[in-house]
C-alpha cells in the first residue's frame, strides 16, 4: 500500500566508525540526503534519551563523521509542506544541542493519513 510505513525490528549491521547505524528500514531505497532546516520539522512524540548515545552522536557530528540521516515524513498540501520526524530522537537531540540550523534527513513523501496513523485525528494540517 502506497505511503504505508512498517515498524519492524532489524539487526542494523551497517555502521560508521563510531558504531552508529547507517541503515533505515523506512528509507532504505531512498539515497538522497537533504540538509533540512531544523525549525520546519515537527517532533510531536516525546523522547526517551540515553545520554551516552547523544554525546557520542554529538562528537560524530562535530567531527564531520557520517551519521544516519533522520527519516522525515513529508506531507505536501495546497496550504504548504509539513515535515514530521517520528524517530531519530538521539540524532535530533544531538543536532539540537549543537544548535545546528539544519539536520541531515531523508524525506519520505507520504499521505496525510500516514501521519494520522502516528498521531491520531487531533492533527490538523491547514
pLDDT recorded at residue 43? 87
The predicted-structure confidence for 70-120, as pLDDT tens digits, reads as follows 999 899 988 889 999 988 999 999 999 999 999 999 998 888 888 877 777
Question: 76: part of which helix (H) or strand (E)?
Answer: strand 70-77
pLDDT recorded at residue 4? 36
User: Cα separations (Å) of 70 from 1, 23, 89, 126?
Assistant: 23, 10, 9, 25
Model confidence band, residue 31 (pLDDT cutoffs 50, 70, 90): confident
Quote the pTM value. Answer: 0.72
Contacts 24+ apart (CB under 8 A), 29-32: 30/106, 30/107, 30/108, 32/106, 32/107
Mean pLDDT over 3-27 rounds to 44
Q: Are strands 70-77 and 102-109 parallel, antiparallel or unpaired?
A: parallel
Amino acid at each position: 500500500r502506497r505511503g504505508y510505513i512498517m515498524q519492524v525490528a532489524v539487526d542494523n549491521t551497517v555502521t560508521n566508525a563510531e558504531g552508529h547505524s547507517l541503515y533505515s528500514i523506512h528509507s532504505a531505497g531512498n539515497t538522497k540526503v537533504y540538509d533540512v532546516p531544523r525549525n520546519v520539522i515537527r517532533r510531536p512524540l516525546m523522547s526517551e534519551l540515553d545520554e551516552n548515545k547523544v554525546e557520542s552522536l554529538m562528537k560524530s557530528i562535530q567531527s564531520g563523521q557520517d551519521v544516519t540521516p533522520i527519516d522525515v515524513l513529508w506531507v505536501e498540501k495546497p496550504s504548504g509542506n509539513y515535515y514530521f520526524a517520528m524517530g531519530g530522537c538521539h540524532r535530533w537531540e544531538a543536532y539540537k544541542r549543537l544548535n545546528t540550523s539544519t539536520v541531515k534527513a531523508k524525506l519520505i513523501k507520504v499521505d496525510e493519513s500516514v501521519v494520522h496513523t502516528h498521531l491520531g485525528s487531533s492533527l490538523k494540517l491547514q
